[in-house]
Each structure stands twice: as structure tokens, then as C-alpha cells.
A = this chain, B = another copy of it.
Amino acid sequence: MTEINLSTEEKIKAAARTIFHKKGYAGTRTRDIAEEAGINLALLNYYFRSKEKLFGIIMTETMTAFFQNLTVILNDEKSSLDQKVEQIASGYIDLISREPAIPTFIMSEIRNNPAGLLEKLPFKKLLTQSVFLKQFNTAVQEGRISEPSPIQFLMNLIGLIVFPFIAKPLLKAIGDLDETQFQNLMQQRKKLIPQWISDMTKA
């Protein structure tokens, strides 16, 4: 992470990402972003016009980046269903371990669907036009898996991956875990989740 020698615009965006991700839109003050970026408050408005516009950029970029991996993996012609599950579990556990604030950020800020973001991004295509869906339906027809619906399947997979990170403060308290122990559990889940998903869908 070379946070030095970035353009001013990139420094502001990087700082905005950090603060917005941690505190959400309403909880963030533009002054905090400016301070984090090591620049003056006026520069923020010079480059991005307003807090709202800057947030819109960060939000869109964050969502796009976060679902990029998923889209690519779900549409890989060469990998099997099982391999897709493994790649998604492993890839997202690593990604969220590096950027732990993102899931809660997305879930919180999507609540009131700001600026119709859900309509702007290609969410409908994500499942309906995917190689994954074809493979899933084929596997059901051939009796290899028994699952009520692909959306339930996806809910379970993503939920098993993402939920522990969203509920991390609670789970650390309930399980009396320190940060290292929590991370170890998450690493174990890279292998466990594919097994569980397989067990859940065995015909």
C-alpha cells in the first residue's frame, strides 16, 4: 500500500473509503476525511463538489469491486459447481479479512437504497444470466443435488461466508475470542464451508 506519492484526488478517495467504510455516510464528517488525507477541507470540495457526490463514487466503486470476484467466478465456463463454491469461499474470506469493514458498510448503507444504486448495478444479470445457474439446474435435473432454489443456495453460501464478519463484535464476545482466534476460525471456514454446502445439498 503506497499511500504516499498518490495524486491528491486519490489521497482523498482513499481517505474517504476508510472513513465512510468505518462510520457510514451519516457518521462521517468531511473534516475527518480531509485530516485522514492530510489535506485541507476545501480541497475535498474542489475535487468532488460535495460530500454526497464523493460518497456516491466510493459506494459505487466499493460495490463494484466487491461483487467483481463473484461475477467472474459464477460465469467461469471451466469450473464445476463445487470448484465455484471453493473459490468463492476462499476468495471472499481473504478479501473480507483484508477489508473487514466492507460487508457492514454495504448492508448498512443499502438500507434506504441511495440513488437507486440497486437498479444501476447489474444485479439481476448476476444470477439469471450466469453459467452458475445453468450448472445448478443441470445438477438438479440429474439428481446430483436437491435444493429448493438457486437463490436459497446463494443465500446460504454468501451468508456462511459473510455473516461471521458482520457479527464479529458479538461473536467475539459470545465465544470469548481474541482477534487471532477469530481469524483462525475464519481461515478454517475456507475448507469447512464447501464441505457444509456439499452436505446441505446432497440429494
Q: In the docked arrangement, what's the CA distance between A156 and B192, Å?
A: 11
A173 at interface (Cβ–Cβ under 8 A)? yes
Tell me whether B156 and A196 are in contact (CB under 8 A): yes
Q: Name A159's contact: one of B111, B119, B159, B174 (CB within 8 Å).
A: B159
Q: In the docked arrangement, what's the CA distance between A199 and B152, Å?
A: 16
**A23, A25, A108, A199 pick with most chain B CB within 10 angstroms:** A108
Tell me whether A189 and B152 are in contact (CB under 8 A): yes
Tell me whether A158 and B169 are in contact (CB under 8 A): no
A143 at interface (Cβ–Cβ under 8 A)? no
- State how many residues of chain A have any CB contact under 8 Å with chain B: 52
Give the distance to chain B from A32, nearest Cβ to Cβ, in Å: 12
Q: List CB contacts (< 8 Å) of A166-203 with chain B.
A: 166-167, 169-171, 173-177, 185, 188-189, 192, 196, 199-200, 202
Q: In the docked arrangement, what's the CA distance between A158 and B166, Å?
A: 12
Tell me whether B108 and A185 are in contact (CB under 8 A): no
Give every chain B residue within 8 A of A115 (Cβ-Cβ): none
A-B contact pairs, 5 of them (CB 8 A): A26-B27, A123-B170, A151-B174, A158-B163, A163-B163
Tell me whether B118 and A111 are in contact (CB under 8 A): no
Tell me whether B128 and A151 are in contact (CB under 8 A): no
Give the distance to chain B from A200, nearest Cβ to Cβ, in Å: 4
Tell me whether A111 and B22 are in contact (CB under 8 A): yes
A162 at interface (Cβ–Cβ under 8 A)? yes
A140 at interface (Cβ–Cβ under 8 A)? no
A135 at interface (Cβ–Cβ under 8 A)? no
Tell me whether A123 and B202 are in contact (CB under 8 A): no
A24 at interface (Cβ–Cβ under 8 A)? yes
A65 at interface (Cβ–Cβ under 8 A)? no
Give the distance to chain B from A121, nearest Cβ to Cβ, in Å: 8
Give the distance to chain B from A191, nearest Cβ to Cβ, in Å: 10
Q: In the docked arrangement, what's the CA distance between A124 and B163, Å?
A: 20
- Nearest-CB residue, chain B, relative to A175: B151
